[in-house]
Amino acid sequence: MLEKGDKKLIKSWAFYDWANSVYSLVISTAVFPIYYESITASDSGNILFMGHLFNTTSLYSYALSFSFLVVALISPILSGIADYAGNKKNYMKFFCYFGSVSVMMLYFFTDTSTLWVGILFSITASIGFWGSLVFYNAYLPEIAYSDQQDMVSAKGFIYGYIGSVILLIFNLSMVLHPEWYGIEDSTLPARISFLTVGLWWMGFAQYTFKYLPHNIYNKKPSKKYIIRGYRELKKVINELKDLPVLLNFLISFFLYSVGVQSIILLATIWGKKEIGLATSNLIITIILIQLVGILGAYFFVHLSKKIGNIDTIKITIIIWIIVCTWAYFLDKNDPNVLLKFYAISGLLGMVLGAIQTLSRSTYSKLLPEDTIDHTTFFSFFDVTEKLAIVWGTFLFGLAVAITESMKTSILLLCLFFVLSFVVLNFMKKTKYVK
């Protein structure tokens, strides 16, 4: 077994970002949202699903909300069990395979008659992706020392950016130029993309699973998994009451995650429906965000070494506020709307990877030094994020359903960033996080 801090161990851990980030880019952000909008498009903007009429954007937003609610409900139980039984690698594998197979099932979403396939498996794919991250994130303090964690966390995101862009370019070559591949069915390129994402995710994850440690604390499994899991959760809840700095950070993290994750998930649909951008322009935007995100992750990690994690996160939040405000005032009739949209996307990319990287490593540093229940503690981190996404995507969808415009939704997300900045200003600095 590789020792903590070993370069090969760190690389294998970070490589899971290479494996799974194709889901977050191709399925959550790029190809699937555009494909969903093209399949469900109608003059009224509504579609019938399970006997009810929904705004198409709201339906997709509600589906995302439901998937994250399921993850939020099950992850504390599963992570508590995994921490006690010492088998989090097995749980990580289960959710990885569950998610990747679900993505491949999206191949069978061909038209409005199979809308249930698109909704069902987009939900289960989301559960698989985020469920696996509960255990992936919990490995960070076990594979890297405190002074390594900022850069190790950034390495994971950067691997993810590079790997996902590589597959996205291949997928987009099929979507934009199906004739290169002899494809005549207009839905087939996107559906093949869903297959490639599932295979990529499942396949490259094997490198991570090969080297990640298994049960390093030699915990003995028990038959009373569920009871033990709840007991572990209760213990962590009690500990959080005596960890005001960690609790303060979690509150701020919840507030800005409402904005960050909702924008990641719904930005493509917003650009297509609210601004009226062509698919090719949206694709350029997505690639721009990914490439700038690599530079942003590196820049802000190095900045955090000079001014501290908290002040660096504050700077990223300010930039997020600027992004939301600028987006709110964007007018699709403006002759320069495309250039402005690219500029906003560049700013967003600069802070996207940075705030995610620093959030993960900052939380890891704030954990009690004597704890070995990393998975249970990280489940709170993940539950906080998932509940934020539930709240954000639900509010976004509700605002669209009521106002038939996404501008109100953008304004609401901006408010959450402002509140998170205020809360973060009350956080006390520690010797590990300044």
| Structural domains in the chain, sorted by start | 7-424 (1.20.1250.20)
Residue 86 confidence (pLDDT): 67
pLDDT of residue 254: 92
Mean pLDDT by 10 residues, the chain (434 residues): 81 93 87 87 80 86 89 75 71 94 96 93 93 83 78 83 88 89 91 96 95 70 62 75 86 91 78 78 80 82 87 93 89 86 88 83 80 67 83 84 80 91 84 57
Max CA separation in the chain (angstroms): 65
End-to-end Cα separation, the chain, in angstroms: 34
> Which residues are 55's β-sheet partners?
46
- Please report the pLDDT score of residue 138 as a whole number: 77
| The residue to which tokens 């572990």 are assigned | 232
Would you call 425 exposed, middle or buried from its count of C-beta atoms within 10 A (0-12, 13-18, 19+)? exposed
Residue of 353, 328, 350, 288 whose CA lies nearest to 414: 328
C-alpha pair distances (Å), 431 with each of 63, 187, 308, 309, 434? 42, 54, 10, 11, 7
* Residue 48, beta-bridge partner list: 53
Length of the chain in terms of residues written: 434
pLDDT reported for residue 368? 77
Which of 310, 299, 306, 304 shows the shortest CA–CA distance to 252?
A: 310
Q: What is the DSSP letter of 242?
A: T
